Amino acid sequence: MKPEVLKSAFDLAEIRAQFPILKELVHGKPLVYFDNAATSQKPRRVIKAESAYYATINANVHRGVHTLSTKATEAQEAAREIIRKHINAKHAHEVVFTSGTTASLNLAAFSLGQLLLKKGDEVLISGMEHHANIVPWQMACERHGAKLKVIPITDSGEWDLSIANSLISDSASCKILAISQVSNTLGTINPVKELIAEAKTRGIITVVDGAQAIAHLDVDVQDLGCDLYAFSGHKAYGPTGTGVLYGREELLERMPPWQGGGEMIDVVTFEKTTYAKLPFKFEAGTPHIAGIIGLGEAIRWMEDYDKAAMAQHEHALLEHATKELLTIDGLRIIGTAKEKVGVISFVVEGVHHYDLGTLLDQQGIAVRTGHHCTQPLMARFGVSGTTRASFACFNTMEEVDAMVAATKKAVKMLR
Which residues are designated catalytic? Answer: 373
Cα separation of 381 and 124, whole Å? 21
Cα separation of 374 and 38, whole Å? 13
Cα separation of 221 and 270, whole Å? 39
Name which of 27, 373, 58 is nearest 186 in CA terms: 373
Q: Are 313 and 305 in contact (CB under 8 A)?
A: no
CA distances from 277 to 96, 146, 266, 332 (A): 12, 30, 8, 52
Q: Are 237 and 300 in contact (CB under 8 A)?
A: no
Q: Are 385 and 369 in contact (CB under 8 A)?
A: yes
Name which of 33, 15, 51, 42 is nearest 298 in CA terms: 42
